[in-house]
Amino acid sequence: MTAVSLSIVVPCYNEEACLQELHARLARAAAAVAGDDYEIVLVNDGSRDRSWEIMRELAEEDRHIVAINLSRNHGHQLALTAGLDLCAGDRILIIDADLQDPPELLSQMIEEMDRQRADVVYAVRRGRAGETAFKRGTAKIFYRLLSKLAEIDIPLDTGDFRLMSRRALDALLSLPEQARFIRGMVAWIGFRQVPIAYDRAERHAGQTNYPLAKMMRLAIDAVTGFSTAPLRFASHIGLWLVAASGLLVAYIGFAFLTGRAIQGWTSLMLVVVVLGAVQMFVLGMIGEYLGRLYIEAKRRPLYIVSEIAGHAEARPSLGHVAHEAETIAASDTPGGNGTRPIA
């Protein structure tokens, strides 16, 4: 693998309105710190708009672009994993395509990495412009709840926006799990990690691709991936219910011996409903962990790539790149890179 000084990895889903401005700002930021020795890895996560067509055009115009087209929508975390797996940089910047995270912060992140001899510089959101009070509130609650539950120290108010060294990325890529929560996994690998504060901007264009359902799924992956607290919570509920049941049996025996009439079916049904609800909750919690074991046991590749535009040097370790990618001919555009597979 021929390394470059800097890789910028960007997962994209329906971002046609942002890609041109994204490319311009990323190219300026990268050239300012790495000169001509950088690559921008754009990962198309099964977009339904013109995102892939625009990415191919950018790859033909700019030899620094590596555009990766996944075979379907794999989800943000797996699309990001594909880009990280196929990038070649000595340093790697992770950033989203919506430009809420400023590419211009890259130079400060590199300075901080060099100054503190860190392997990871993660960006902490000081302000969140353009987001609803509901989203800000739920995000604040989620990060603090995760911090309490997780068995590792996951920084508060951080997303995937961060700069990593190659050795930190190699350690991250050694973790093969399917249900990925990248920011938690980066915290798990350790090394020296330092924060840098910034104000998050509004989306450059378009609408968010992370609705409430996806946020909830990510939250479940985060909690179940880094904590067994829900299982312990289920066990504690079971113990308390056993104690409550003992008290209830004692009360029934006392009422029988003293000749007191026990109230009718309403109270009985209430107990049955509560116990049933708790049992279903506990079974659901156990089922969530069993489901993760079932998925992991299949050992499927984390992602499948159908096409690559540009000169990608890395070889996949976590996914599969289809050979049919070579059906797209190389561009005749001067300086273009064409499309080819990675063996």
In this prediction the pTM is 0.68
Confidence of residue 1 (pLDDT cuts 50, 70, 90): low
Residue-wise pLDDT for 147-174, tens only, equals: 666 666 777 778 889 999 999 999 999 9
Least-confidence region, from 124-133, 256-265, 268-277, 293-302: 256-265
Q: Which residues of 113-144 are buried (b: 16+ CB within 10 A; e: fewer)?
A: beeeebbbbbbebeebeebeeeeeeebeebbe
Encoded tokens for 256: 């029988």
Distance CA 81, CA 101 (A): 19
Q: CA-based diameter of the chain, in Å?
A: 98
Residue-wise pLDDT for 66-95, tens only, equals: 999 998 888 888 999 999 999 988 999 999
Confidence of residue 223 (pLDDT cuts 50, 70, 90): low
Q: Does pLDDT of 256 surpass 70?
A: no
Place of tokens 């067509």: 53
The DSSP element (H or E) to which 112 belongs, if any, is helix 106-116
The predicted pLDDT at position 31 comes to 92
Residue-wise pLDDT for 173-196, tens only, equals: 998 888 788 888 888 888 999 999
The residue type of 258 is: T
Identify the burial level of 240 via C-beta atoms within 10 angstroms of its C-beta, where 0-12 means exposed, 13-18 middle and 19 or more buried. Answer: exposed
